[in-house]
């Protein structure tokens, strides 16, 4: 009921199903001891019942708006948001909220909308701070006096305070004071203490193991997901929220008012028509392109976009061909990478005994699927300087194994390789599966691949595979969709660049230490 809404929520234009979901979630939180109507909290009850609820809806149904407003209401009620960067001393009465996403890119999409999101990994593993610098963290959080640190100086402390007052990030504030991560973070440990409330965005990407971890940590868990996306590989077309009983699933059916004039979302929702065939869908795209500049019927791939926004494909063979065409267009040599070439983290190649090093790399944002740009070689052999999109401190120097696959050959070409470290594939083109959770201002979808999927006649969870692929691909576009209909590549307008990448200045770039 609307009566259950906070004053802030009442000032918004909620759809009927958003309002119903708000009321249901407010009731769930009230049972957990947090009243967002009265803006009050009760101490957590460790013996209280755990609860899981899923909020499901297609692109444009208002899931992110609902998540954002619920976050504001919880903060207003006195709930503390937990980022995973630093946690002060525990207080028995403290109520906590963590907003999580499966990847750094997905988390950064939320942060760009003002939601303090972090990755699931940063909550599962927490940093261990050097006791000397932990005094600064406590002071910044208001839990301790201003420390006396002659070696650092008052000017550096002032810079840290000014940064933290603007951006609530302890590592960012310490970096602003001139410190590197290796100065103040001495290690990582698996979380031992439970947390209170967890909001999980892009939950269609979760696998069963991640879901088990999250239900162990959070007493109240709310999943936000899109049932029309692709299920994780190896999950047999099933998403984690599919197993929940019907009363634990809330569905947002209506496209929110603010998205009704979006031709990209119109195309995405048109795919729900069971009678729609691939040829008919392409006619819709061509007609939309004639009416609206946000949809482009493209005769070739734009190589300029590929450096920051990968071409989305279905088949690996297409991905490899486009990558080599991109490198050839920029005159990239076979023996090395050019600064500015895009990369995708393909996981970590480390033995089990190097657990600390693995946790450290992942904490820097180098998790499977992370999108990066190569900045140049590191100071040590096998190290690369990288810009990690979505990471709070994006410039990292890390031991790297960079692989460029070759068409028709099992073994990739490796221009740079450490004995162990983060593995990367080229990122000028990626599969639609790997693009889930990410968004870019402009997105190029390679239509011949989706036509091949339509001809193959495959289905996933009873839906033609080409429709799921098309839905995920076109909803990655924030502003402009380029539907590429020919196997051609346009010439780049200029050389690759890195001067457009912000982040921590090079002298303060984080270097992941080799622990032997």
pLDDT exceeds cutoff 60 at 512: no
Give yes or no for a contact between 26 and 32, defined as CB atoms under 8 angstroms apart.
Answer: no
Percentage of the chain beyond pLDDT 90 is: 44
- Confidence at residue 430, expressed as pLDDT on a 0 to 100 scale: 95
pLDDT exceeds cutoff 70 at 509: no
pLDDT exceeds cutoff 60 at 187: yes
Confidence of residue 236 (pLDDT cuts 50, 70, 90): low
Taking only Cα atoms into account, the Rg of the chain, rounded to an integer number of angstroms, comes to: 23
Percentage of the chain beyond pLDDT 70 is: 87
Instruction: Name the DSSP class of 242.
Output: G
pLDDT tens, residue by residue, 271-316: 999 999 999 999 999 999 999 999 999 999 999 999 999 999 999 9
pLDDT exceeds cutoff 60 at 9: no
Lowest model confidence (mean pLDDT) among 61-75, 136-150, 152-166, 252-266: 252-266
- Confidence at residue 100, expressed as pLDDT on a 0 to 100 scale: 92
- d(CA 176, CA 172) in angstroms, rounded, equals 6
Confidence of residue 513 (pLDDT cuts 50, 70, 90): very low
Mean pLDDT across 109-127: 81
Of 419, 24, 443, 102, nearest in space to 264 by CA: 443
Q: In this predicted model, which residue has the larger pLDDT, 176 or 385?
A: 385
- Confidence at residue 516, expressed as pLDDT on a 0 to 100 scale: 37
pLDDT exceeds cutoff 70 at 190: yes
- Confidence at residue 259, expressed as pLDDT on a 0 to 100 scale: 55
* Chain center to CA of 328: 30
Give yes or no for a contact between 133 and 179, defined as CB atoms under 8 angstroms apart.
Answer: yes
pLDDT exceeds cutoff 90 at 183: no
- For the entire predicted model, the pTM comes to 0.78
pLDDT tens, residue by residue, 129-164: 888 888 888 898 888 899 988 888 889 899 989 888
Confidence of residue 1 (pLDDT cuts 50, 70, 90): very low
- CA atoms in the 13 A half-sphere facing the CB of 414: 12
Three-state SS letters, 334-362: CCCCCCCCEEEEEEEECCHHHHHHHHHHH
Q: Give 152-180 as a DSSP string.
A: T-HHHHHHHHHHHHHS--HHHHHHHTT--
Q: In this predicted model, which residue has the larger pLDDT, 420 or 263?
A: 263
pLDDT tens, residue by residue, 25-47: 999 999 999 999 888 999 888 88
pLDDT exceeds cutoff 80 at 353: no
What DSSP element (H or E) covers 423?
strand 421-426
């Amino acid at each position: 009921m609307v009566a259950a809404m906070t004053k802030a929520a009442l000032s918004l234009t909620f759809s009927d199903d958003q309002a119903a979901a708000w009321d249901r979630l407010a009731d769930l939180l009230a049972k957990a001891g947090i009243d967002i109507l009265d803006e009050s909290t009760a101490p957590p009850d460790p013996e209280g019942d755990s609860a899981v609820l899923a909020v499901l809806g297609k692109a444009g149904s208002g899931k992110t708006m609902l998540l954002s407003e619920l976050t504001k209401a919880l903060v207003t009620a006195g709930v503390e948001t937990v980022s995973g960067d630093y946690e002060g001393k525990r207080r028995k009465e403290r109520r906590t909220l963590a907003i999580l996403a499966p990847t750094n890119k997905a988390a950064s999409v939320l942060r760009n909308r003002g939601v303090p999101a972090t990755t699931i990994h940063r909550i599962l593993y927490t940093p261990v701070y050097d006791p000397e610098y932990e005094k600064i963290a406590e002071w910044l959080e208001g839990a301790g006096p201003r420390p006396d640190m002659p070696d650092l100086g008052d000017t550096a402390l002032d810079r840290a305070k000014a940064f933290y007052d603007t951006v609530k990030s302890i590592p960012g504030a310490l970096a602003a004071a001139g410190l590197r991560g290796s100065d103040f973070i001495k290690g990582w440990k698996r979380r031992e203490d439970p947390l209170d409330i967890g909001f999980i965005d892009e939950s269609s990407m979760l696998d069963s193991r991640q879901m088990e971890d999250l239900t162990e940590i959070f007493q109240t868990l709310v999943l936000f997901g899109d049932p029309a996306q692709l299920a994780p590989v190896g999950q047999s077309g099933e998403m984690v929220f599919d197993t929940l009983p019907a009363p634990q699933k809330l569905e947002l059916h209506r496209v929110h008012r603010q998205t009704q004039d979006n031709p990209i979302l119109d195309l995405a929702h048109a795919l729900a028509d069971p009678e729609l065939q691939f040829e008919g869908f392409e006619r819709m795209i061509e007609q939309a392109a004639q009416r609206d500049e946000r949809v482009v019927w493209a005769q070739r791939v734009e190589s300029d976009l590929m450096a920051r926004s990968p071409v989305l494909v279905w088949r690996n063979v297409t991905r490899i061909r486009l990558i080599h065409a991109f490198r050839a267009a920029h005159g990239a040599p076979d023996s090395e990478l050019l600064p500015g070439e895009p990369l995708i983290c393909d996981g970590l190649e480390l033995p089990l005994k190097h657990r600390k090093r693995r946790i450290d790399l992942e904490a820097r944002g180098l998790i499977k699927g992370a999108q990066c740009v190569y900045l140049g070689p590191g100071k040590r052999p096998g190290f690369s300087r990288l810009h990690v999109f979505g990471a709070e401190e994006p410039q990292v120097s890390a031991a790297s194994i960079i692989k460029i696959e070759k068409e028709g050959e099992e073994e990739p070409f490796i221009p740079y390789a450490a004995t162990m470290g983060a593995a990367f594939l080229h990122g000028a083109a990626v599969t639609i599966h790997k693009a889930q959770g990410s968004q870019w201002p402009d997105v190029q979808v390679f239509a011949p691949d989706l036509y091949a999927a339509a001809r193959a006649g495959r289905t996933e969870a009873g839906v033609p595979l080409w429709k799921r692929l098309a839905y995920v691909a076109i909803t990655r576009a924030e502003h402009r969709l380029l539907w590429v209909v020919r196997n051609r590549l346009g010439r780049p307008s200029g050389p690759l660049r890195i001067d457009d990448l912000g982040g921590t200045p090079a002298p303060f770039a984080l270097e992941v230490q080799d622990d032997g």
